[in-house]
Amino acid sequence: MEKMINKEIVKLGSCKRCGDQKKVDKFGLCKECSQEVDYEYSMIYKIKDMEY
């Protein structure tokens, strides 16, 4: 479903991670889940850097 807000098309869909009906980004994640995924990936790379 799409809605026009401030002349921008906003895609509303279900988040692939939490399943809630929210505004999703191009990866299909809502804002909260996107931030959590970014944090998790940063922690993975931090751990990999510490191993070397």
What's the pLDDT at 6?
A: 53
pLDDT digit string, tens, across residues 13-39: 899 999 999 889 888 899 999 999 999
CA 1/CA 17 separation, integer angstroms: 18
Is pLDDT of 5 > 90? Answer: no
CA 18/CA 34 separation, integer angstroms: 11
Domain ranges of the chain: 2-51
pTM above 0.85, yes or no: no
What's the pLDDT at 17?
A: 92
Is pLDDT of 1 > 70? Answer: no
